[in-house]
Amino acid sequence: MIKVLLLPGDGIGPEVIAQAKKVLLHLRSEYNLKIELEEALIGGSAYDDCKNPLPDTTLDLAKSSDAILLGAVGGPKYDNVGRKLRPENGLLRIRAELDLFANLRPAILYKSLAGASSLKPELVADLDIMIVRELTGGIYFGEPRGIRTLENGVRQGFNTLIYDENEVTRIAHVAFRIAQKRNSKLCSVDKANVLEVSELWREVVESVHNNYKDVFLSHMYVDNAAMQLVREPNQFDVVLTGNMFGDILSDAAAMLTGSIGMLPSASLDSNDKGMYEPIHGSAPDIAGKNIANPLATILSIAMMLRYSLEELDLADKVEQAVQQVIANGLRTTDIADKHSAIGTNEMGDAVIDALT
Ligand code: IPM
Ligand code: MG
C-alpha cells in the first residue's frame, strides 16, 4: 500500500486539497491505485492548534509516507508571529527534514489560456520551461544568520549564502537528467561575476556536464536571466539555479503562463520521495469562497504519480482530464476571461467526470 499524506495547510489550501482528495479516491476506486490517505496539520493551522507550524506528529507521518500533497501555508493573520513559528517556517523545515533538495517547477502555457499571459501571445506560444531549483541550501539555510547590535549600537541583519560542492553536484545531476528527457538544453543561472559561491557553482556544474555530453549547457547571470525570461522565454528548456534565485525566477516564469492557478510543483529527495504542491500559495483573500482553482493541485497529483509512484499511465490520464476540462471551456474565475466561471468544487467534479 502506498501511503500518501495530505497537508491542506492554510488559506485556499484546504479547498484545493479537498478536490485533489476526491480525485485520488476516484483513482483508487476506478483505476485500482493502491493508496492509503492520511491527513495532518502544517503552517498556520498547525500553529493555531499547538503553537508549532510543523508538529512532530506531522513530521513523523511525513517521514513514514511515500509521498506528500501540500495545499499552501501562510496568511496575514500570522504576520506578527516570530520567525521560527511562522507558517513559512513549517514549510522550510519539512523541506529540510525530508532532504527535499530538488524542486521542479514547470511553467507551461495552456494554449487556450494564452490570452491571460502578461506577454504578447507570439512570445509565449508553446512555452514549456522547467525550473530546477535547489531547495534545502543556499542563503535560506546558511549559517550564521541573525540580527545583531554592533559596538557602535547600530543593528545589523546578516545571512550567509553558502553551497558546498556536494550540494551543487546532486542538484546538477537532477537537472541534467531532466534535460535529457526534454529538449536537452540546460541553462545554469548564477551570479559568478560577483559571488565566489557562484564561481564554485559554475565549476561544479561544468564538471557534472562531463557525464551528460548529449545535453547543451549554457550559463547565465541571474539579472540577465530575469530579463531574458520576459524578453524571449522560449529560449529556455531547463533552468538550473540555487534556492533564492530559483524562488524569484520561478514566480516570474509562472506569471508568463498567465495561469498561476494551473501550475504544480515537486520537491524530491535523492530517492524520488516527494512533496507535491501547487505553486500559487495560500491566497487568503479568496479563501473559503469556493472560487480557487484546484487544477494546480490536481496537476500536482499527476507529478506525484509520475515522479514518486511510477504510475506513468495514470499521470497521463490526470493531465489529459485537466486538458479536457479546459478544452470544454470550463474555467474558474482566475482563468475565466470571457467564459462564465464555475466554482472550486464544480471544477473538481468536472475533472472526475473527464476521468470517467
Ligand atoms: C515558495 C515560497 C516559499 C519559498 C516561502 C513560502 C517560504 O515562496 O515555495 O516559492 O520562499 O521558498
Ligand atoms: Mg516563492
What pLDDT score was predicted for residue 258?
A: 81
Q: What is the DSSP letter of 280?
A: S
**pLDDT given at position 182:** 96
Radius of gyration in angstroms for the set of CA atoms belonging to the chain, rounded to a whole number: 20
Task: Provide the pLDDT for residue 175.
Answer: 98
Q: How far is CA 90 from the centre of its chain?
A: 15
Q: Would you list the domain boundaries of the chain?
A: 1-101+269-356, 103-262
Q: Edge to edge, what strands does the sheet with 67-72 contain?
A: 35-39, 2-9, 67-72, 274-278, 264-268, 102-108, 128-134, 238-241, 185-190, 216-221
- Show which residues are catalytic: 140, 191, 223, 247, 251
CA 276 / ligand 1 centre spacing (Å):
13
Class of the CATH domain delimited by 1-101+269-356: alpha beta
1-101+269-356 and 103-262 have identical folds: yes
pLDDT of residue 338: 83
pTM, full prediction = 0.95
Per-residue pLDDT at 117: 85
Query: Chunked in runs of 10, what are the mean pLDDT values of the chain (356 residues)?
Result: 97 98 98 97 98 98 98 97 95 98 95 84 93 98 98 98 98 98 98 98 98 98 98 97 97 88 96 95 96 97 96 97 94 88 97 97
3-state secondary structure of 22: helix
Spatial CB neighbours of 351, under 8 Å, sequence gap ≥ 6: 19, 23, 294, 295, 298, 318, 321, 322, 325
Report which bound ligand comes closest to the CA of 88.
Answer: 1
| 13 within 8 A of 70, measured Cβ to Cβ | yes
State the distance from the centre of ligand 1 to the C-alpha of 31, rounded, in angstroms.
34
**Would the CB of 247 count as within 6 Å of ligand 1?**
yes
Q: How far is the CA of 279 from the centre of ligand 2 (A)?
A: 8
Q: What pLDDT is attached to residue 150?
A: 98
Residue nearest to atom 4 of ligand 1 (CA): 247
- Whether ligand 1 lies within 6 angstroms of the CB of 91 is answered as yes
Query: Ligand 1, atom 11: nearest CA belongs to which residue?
Result: 247
92, 100, 105, 131: residue to mutate for ligand 1 pocket, most atoms within 8 A of CB: 92
Phi, psi of 105 (to 5 degrees): -125, 95
Q: How far is the CA of 251 from the centre of ligand 1 (A)?
A: 10
CATH class of the domain at 103-262:
alpha beta
| Residue ranges of E strands in 153-309 | 155-158, 185-190, 216-221, 238-241, 264-268, 274-278
Strand partners, 106: 130
Q: Which atom of ligand 1 is nearest to the CA of 265?
A: 9
- Give the per-residue pLDDT at 4: 98
Nearest CA to ligand 1 atom 7: 88
CA dihedral 192, 217, 134, 38 (to 10 degrees): 170
Report the residue among 10, 105, 247, 250 best suited for mutation to probe ligand 1: largest number of ligand atoms under 8 A from its CB. Answer: 247
Output the residue whose Cα is nearest ligand 1's atom 2: 247
How far does residue 247's CA lie from ligand 1's centre (Å)?
6
Q: Which ligand is nearest to the CA of 53?
A: 1
Hey, which of 91, 139, 140 would you mutate to test ligand 1's pocket, going by the most ligand atoms within 8 Å of its Cβ? 91
Q: Whose CA is nearest to atom 6 of ligand 1?
A: 88
CB environment 113-131: b (16+ within 10 A), e (fewer): bbebbebeeebbeebebbb
CB 88 less than 6 A from any atom of ligand 1: yes
Instruction: Give residue 118's identity as a one-letter amino acid code.
Output: S
Q: Which helix H or strand E contains 102, and what residues bound it?
A: strand 102-108
